[in-house]
Amino acid sequence: MAQNTSSEAKFLQIFAVGGGGFTHLDDGWPEDSSLEDTLVATAGPASKTKIGYFGHANNDDADKIRAFHKRFQNCSKTLHLPITADANLAKLFLSSIDILYVGGGSTLKMLLHWQLTGIDKALINAAHNGLVLAGVSAGAICWFDELLLTAQGNKFGIFRGLGLLPGSACPHYHNEPRRKNSFDKHILKDKLAPGIAIDDGVAVHVIDGRVHNIIKARNDGEKAYFVKKENGRLSSKLLKKGQKLG
């Protein structure tokens, strides 16, 4: 099937998973499988879908690559682009698939790698050409404009994402209190743009900058939120279908 290259209308789609899923079988599995089932359905008949994987945030961790193939090989054709690939190979790879799944790890190292190789531009072009972009943790937030990331000394700093979606994003929201507290404080102090915060076991499907669906895989209270400063105080409200980001 591959991404849409015709003159038909193309939608910019992001499928952001807060945490868990097939790369973390000791955390929320098998409940989280519903997140991936929903992802596959976004691209049409599973038997014809081609799913690609980037493990650049975790330096192509072999266990995660094997987990990717195992999870999707019975419902789709699976392909992996190694971290050694250049922008030309990435462009060909992205044009041959329907869904890209980006694994977790160091968001900052991944973004720097994409900038150095030119893969960032290939990703942006593919997104506007109809490729569904998905991922967990680092692979969930890299698509946004502003990011709060762990930098030197294990401290959080603000960095630019790919800018495909406005505002900021935070994974593992209630699952990592230190990350949550820093995200909230930066927004409250006007240092970080308002944005979405996603708990583990939750996915947010965004189409053209508007929330299309919120998928909750677990039964232990995980949710997705929109966090902003309102009347001088922090506002953290449940994310809603149809809500426009930014």
Give the residue numbers marked as catalytic: 137, 172
Q: Is 50 left (phi over 0), alpha (psi -120 to 50) or beta?
A: beta
3-state secondary structure the chain: CCCCCCCCCCCCEEEEECCCCCCCCCCCCCCCHHHHHHHHHCCCCHHHCEEEEECHHHCCCHHHHHHHHHHHCCCCEEEEECCCCCHHHHHHHHHCCCEEEECCCCHHHHHHHHHHHCHHHHHHHHHHCCCEEEEECHHHHCCEEEEEEECHHHCEEEEECCCCEEEEEECCCCCCHHHHHHHHHHHHCCCCCCEEEECCCEEEEEECCEEEEEEECCCCCCCEEEEEEECCEEEEEECCCCCECC
Is the Cβ–Cβ distance between 123 and 117 less than 8 Å?
no
Give the up-direction half-sphere exposure of residue 223: CA atoms within 13 A in the CB hemisphere: 10
Nearby residues of 33 by Cβ (< 8 Å), 6 or more positions away = 22, 71, 217
